Amino acid sequence: MKRKIIDPTILIITDNFLTKKWFKNFFTNKNFNILFKDTKENAENLVESTALDLIIVDHEMDETNILKYCENLKQKTYKSHTPIILITGNLKKNYRKDAQKMGVWDFLNDDLNEDEFLLKLDKSLNAINRQEKVSTLKIKVKPLKMPQKSLKEKIILDYKVISILKEAKEKKTDLFILLIEYKNILKKSDGQSMILENIRKCIPNEKYIIPSKDNYVITIIPKINKEKAIEISKHLENALKNLDISIAIIDYQKHLISKKPIFENFLKMIATAKESLIKQPDTTFFLQK
């Protein structure tokens, strides 16, 4: 059976139409979740609660304070080791040295080139994957062994997801997973952005958000009960009715298979929920065991 994976999620912060177009063309038919933000404030709100595997910042957003902005982003990222790539034409060594001190991981020339970006993209995903493995070892969780994949198929095993699931499993605390499917949207990134913003509004407590492929968003919410999970789901359903959403509510403890590795359990739950959404479209329901 082919292993189901979660695609890397990339946030691109730019208000330049041509830059957006270039990246959209580049990622066409590639398995990545691409989110665009054209204001610095909206981007900051996103990075605080969303699992991002790479952040790309256009220096033209605000060239005077862009390095300080990158420093702020680095401090706010949900995953502290998410690489930040800065698009800039400034080749001065002192400028780039200062940028790296303030959280910039690498640079792209503003005359965007596919070969250069492909190398930087591969390099950044390899770097964060190494860091995830180190972090996973630190919390003493056995990492899921994945076969070698092409660049389009890479998955980042985020230690934060594993640690949240591990804690719930060991302490037998409530944890619910919402698999949200949305329709009636021309651009996948627009649908994801609308869902992410509403999730942040209606879930003020701890949460973990994973944009997925094929018009899905996964939200992990620890330490809430069944009634609260229903309340949150109904709120999202009403707030996002224009997207024609469907929500599968997964009771983590109910579907947990103790002998399976944590992340494998999680992927199995998501796969089962997706199959159920196909059979029960346009509804909000609890996933049956």
Q: Which residues, including other chains, have CB under 8 Å from residue 184's CB and lie 6 or more apart?
A: 242, 243, 244
Q: Which CATH class is domain 9-131?
A: alpha beta
Going from N- to C-terminal start, the domains of the chain cover 9-131, 158-286
**Residues whose CB is less than 8 angstroms from the CB of residue 59 and which lie 6 or more positions away in sequence, other chains included:** 66, 86, 87, 88, 89, 90, 110
Of the candidates 77, 148, 95, 151, the residue with the CA atom closest to the CA atom of residue 120: 151
**CATH number of the domain at 158-286, out of 3.40.50.300, 3.30.70.270, 3.60.10.10, 3.60.15.10?**
3.30.70.270
- Beta strands (DSSP E) in 192-255 are 208-212, 216-222, 246-251
Tens of pLDDT along the chain (289 residues)?
Answer: 333 345 788 999 998 999 999 999 888 888 788 889 888 777 887 887 777 889 999 988 765 588 888 888 888 876 667 899 999 888 788 888 888 888 898 999 888 888 788 888 888 877 666 554 434 333 333 333 333 433 333 334 456 677 788 888 889 999 999 998 887 665 555 667 777 777 777 776 667 777 666 678 888 888 889 999 998 888 888 888 777 888 999 999 999 887 777 877 888 898 899 888 888 877 788 888 7
Look at residue 86 in the predicted model and tell me its pLDDT: 93
Domain 9-131 matches domain 158-286 at the CATH topology level: no
Q: In this predicted structure, what is the pLDDT of residue 177?
A: 93
The two three-digit tokens of residue 224, written as one number: 């809430």
Whether residue 252 contacts residue 210, with contact meaning beta carbons closer than 8 Å, is answered with no
